[in-house]
Chain A
């Protein structure tokens, strides 16, 4: 069975602050993929990143960065110097070889000007 836990329900920050979203996953498979999706207030789901279980290299893309640690089964996401446009619900998801994405409950990020 697969499970994704996003313990933070809501995070509120002031613009320019950094914000880190936690994601902890469970799977018995040794091969799996982890994803982050963003859902802005308009409602669509936007793909942000995919990471496979054999690649623990951290990644930075502009103001976004991801920290993947297999030892703690975590795939955390950091927004640096947050902006109002970052306000959204962020979902972490897990796919272990069967295309069935398991989503966390999501973290709502509110960035105040």
Chain B
């Protein structure tokens, strides 16, 4: 049981480049989400999904796209990277039963946009 996995661990992009951050979980969790962590701001929700085929925006969705074709995977796409997207990105997952399940986080992806 690997839990929540994220790849890559670290990435450097040039402004305007695109890339996909991968997230996978093997716990059969219905709910998955992406957060970004910036100094002094805690974590902020980018996008989330309550099941395959269902996604919605969080607090800071601009510049990011997501899709959920399977229960296990929830990739985050940066269409045209900007320096403001330099951050640490965390994927999280949980069950979606009572509405208050604990979210478990992946190890994070550190992204630097030059």
Contacts and interface: CB of A to CB of B under 8 A. Distances in A.
Contact of A47 (B40, B41, B42, B102): B102
In this complex, the interface size class of chain B, counting residues with CB under 8 Å from chain A, is 20 to 34
Interface stretch (A56-64, A74-82, A92-100): A92-100
Contacts of B74: none
Interface stretch (B19-27, B65-73, B79-87, B103-111): B103-111
Contact of A103 (B31, B44, B50, B94): B44
A35 B35 CA distance: 16
Nearest to B31: A99
Interface string B7-45: 000000000000000000000000101010000111111
B79 to A, nearest CB: 23
B57 to A, nearest CB: 10
B100 interface: yes
Contact of A97 (B48, B94, B99): B99
Given A105-B42, A106-B42, A50 B99 contact: no
B64 interface: no
A105 B41 contact: yes
A33 B59 CA distance: 19
Contacts of A52: 100
A91 interface: yes
Given A33-B100, A44-B108, A99 B43 contact: no
A91 B42 CA distance: 7
A101 B43 contact: yes
Nearest to B30: A99
Contacts of B99: 97-99
A95 B45 CA distance: 12
B40 A99 contact: no
Most buried by A among B45, B58, B100: B100
B109 to A, nearest CB: 10
A37 B48 CA distance: 19
Contact of A44 (B42, B101, B103, B107): B107
| Nearest 4 pairs of A and B residues by beta carbon | A103-B42, A45-B105, A33-B100, A103-B43
